[in-house]
Amino acid sequence: MSLASPVAPRLQPNGLRLLAALEAMAEVGAQPDGSICRRGFSPEDRQGRELLGSWLLQAGLTARVDSAGNLIARREGSEPHLPALVTGSHLDTVPTGGRYDGALGVIAGLEVLRCLQDCEHQLRHPLELVVFADEESTMVGCKGMTGAASADPDAYTTSNGESIERNLAHLGGDWAHLAEARRSDGEIAAFLELHVEQGGVLEQRQHTIGVVEGVVGQRRFTIRVQGQANHAGTTPMHDRQDALVAASQVVLAVQQLAAGHPGQPVATVGRLDVWPNAANVVPGEVVLSVDLRDLSSAVLNALERGLRQQLQRIEASSGCRLVIEPQFEVQPTPADPTVMATIARCAADLGYSASPLPSRASHDAQEMGRRWPMGMIFVPSHRGLSHSAAEFTSLEQCLAGTSVLLASLLQLDRALDPGRDP
């Protein structure tokens, strides 16, 4: 018997291959300080996509670019009429990005495709890997796919200052036909994204897998506190309408609203503009921002109600006028219960510790989940750091996430049927 007898490849991710791809991708846009700069539409962004394209080709797969600049690889299933299972993430980064944010989800999807190709394992559903365009900035890729992308070119603020038309052309997209990137309801069965947590919850819990409950909604307000500017020396304390003192009460009220809520909402005053901002003048006006986030619209409603009540109370006691102006609102995107349960079961079957948690950052999955059943798998971020050179997730954790992604896709492939509510 020959010791060199071939061993049938097993349907499980290859850790060394995963690591090699992560490292090779991290070379693209590598900066001297260890961070990675692959801004959306930049030459480095294109280079990263070309590298992925070459790996797909080696695996016997081809990819196309849709009009919204999304790179889409597709592997047909045995029942080609079925809607596609879709996974993916982004390759673009912030200016000082890490090597895992976005890239992990793409390279894990590649590893899933490579495993299936190696084992010649055919799924029932087509399987697609998507590299979404410009996630860190305009999100034109995922919004183009869901049909939520604005048709007004002036609505896009791109990181290189070039028009969205020119930028899409850089990636092989086509602004004039942006609407064609929209996929119909029946084309996609479910969307799964593996991503680093970008927070410290999993590490604190010492859990390997996060089963994402959804992407939080957000409400942003501007609050104008109008008092009376006056001489800091000659104005007695009882006769002041000090806008900064009133604004300070708003800051505390916002903190207490979220901290005192039984759930896990977060609320932040991140900006204060004080006028005239001079040491010898009682502040006459303060403009501040309030940012509220939670998974539940009901909780956001309660926080907003509480905020408005507090503003009335502070107005009555301070003698200042407080005006609240809504800036924008993003609805929460809950994960699909079936997809969530599948991820949780696969993590347990593979022996990984796992727990549910919300995503407090934006992702491509947030947009995809507005149209199709969505699930996200988180793996730990060391010390909760992200968008920095210090971003780190161990190979074991990356491999665990990829294993759960593969198992979940296989499970959904067996379980999902068109025409039957999943």
Using the rule CB under 5 A, is 44 a contact of Zn ion?
no
Q: 286, 273 in Cβ contact below 8 A? A: yes
Using the rule CB under 5 A, is 141 a contact of Zn ion?
no
Least separation, in Å, of the C-beta of 175 and Zn ion? 24
Least separation, in Å, of the C-beta of 104 and Zn ion? 9
Least separation, in Å, of the C-beta of 11 and Zn ion? 27
Spell out the residues 6+ positions from residue 69 whose beta carbon is closer than 8 angstroms to its own: 41, 133, 134, 140, 141, 144, 167, 168, 171, 172, 173
What CA dihedral angle connects 17, 21, 125 and 102, to 10 degrees?
140
Using the rule CB under 5 A, is 45 a contact of Zn ion?
no
Please give the C-alpha separations between residue 289 and each of 224, 273, 282, 361, in angstroms, as whole numbers: 9, 9, 21, 18
The angle formed by the CA atoms of residues 340, 110 and 368, to the nearest 5 degrees, is 40
Using the rule CB under 5 A, is 193 a contact of Zn ion?
no
Residue among 194 and 303 whose Cβ is closer to Zn ion: 194
Residue numbers 91-130 binding Zn ion by CB under 5 A: 101-102
Least separation, in Å, of the C-beta of 238 and Zn ion? 53
Using the rule CB under 5 A, is 294 a contact of Zn ion?
no
Please give the C-alpha separations between residue 7 and each of 98, 112, 115, 118, 120, in angstroms, as whole numbers: 37, 19, 14, 12, 14
**What are 270's two structure tokens?**
């991140």
The site for Zn ion, by CB under 5 A, has a size of 2
Residue nearest to Zn ion (CB): 102
Spell out the residues 6+ positions from residue 413 whose beta carbon is closer than 8 angstroms to its own: 77, 85, 123, 124, 125, 127
Using the rule CB under 5 A, is 401 a contact of Zn ion?
no
Residue among 82 and 107 whose Cβ is closer to Zn ion: 107
Using the rule CB under 5 A, is 77 a contact of Zn ion?
no
Residue among 66 and 101 whose Cβ is closer to Zn ion: 101
Residue among 98 and 334 whose Cβ is closer to Zn ion: 98
Using the rule CB under 5 A, is 213 a contact of Zn ion?
no
Least separation, in Å, of the C-beta of 391 and Zn ion? 10
Please give the residue ranges that form the binding site for Zn ion (CB under 5 A): 101-102
